[in-house]
């Protein structure tokens, strides 16, 4: 009698468990989709709107300002690449690769003494 009751409860819990799993996964993917849409479309729309309003205040055509903002000359790109190259190469210092071992003149150390490791009975 008790086993039959437990089997029925396990079957009911199993269907409820699958429902919770499906709803949980759906919520996670929906939230990821909303975050993607926000950063992909809404945030770029807001930034472009602010840039256009700033360009209108300065008296510049917004379309012309957008193209001027994104175009860089080859000289600027070369200067940035060279600065990055020099920065990353200066991070490493030059070492000789020679390892020297200096011998200690005294061989006795109380840390390695066998006398202190012996038990007095």
Kindly give the residue spans of alpha helices, DSSP state H, lying in the chain: 2-37, 43-58, 62-70, 74-89
Cβ atoms of residues 89 and 81 within 8 Å:
no
Give per-residue pLDDT as tens, 40-55.
888 888 887 777 777 7
pLDDT exceeds 80 at position 3: no
> What per-residue confidence (pLDDT) applies to 68?
53
Q: Given pLDDT bands bounded at 50, 70 and 90, which one contains residue 34?
A: very high
Q: Given pLDDT bands bounded at 50, 70 and 90, which one contains residue 69?
A: low
Q: Given pLDDT bands bounded at 50, 70 and 90, which one contains residue 10?
A: low
Q: Where are the domains of the chain?
A: 2-106
């Amino acid at each position: 009698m008790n086993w039959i009751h437990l089997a029925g409860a396990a079957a009911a819990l199993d269907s409820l468990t699958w429902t919770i799993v499906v709803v949980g996964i759906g919520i996670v993917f929906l939230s990821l989709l909303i975050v993607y849409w926000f950063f992909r479309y809404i945030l770029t729309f807001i930034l472009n709107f602010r840039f256009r309003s700033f360009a209108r205040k300065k008296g510049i055509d917004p379309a012309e300002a957008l193209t001027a903002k994104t175009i860089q000359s080859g000289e600027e790109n070369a200067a940035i690449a060279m600065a990055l190259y020099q920065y990353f190469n200066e991070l490493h210092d030059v070492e000789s690769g020679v390892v020297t071992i200096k011998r200690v003149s005294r061989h006795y150390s109380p840390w390695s003494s066998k006398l202190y490791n012996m038990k007095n009975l």
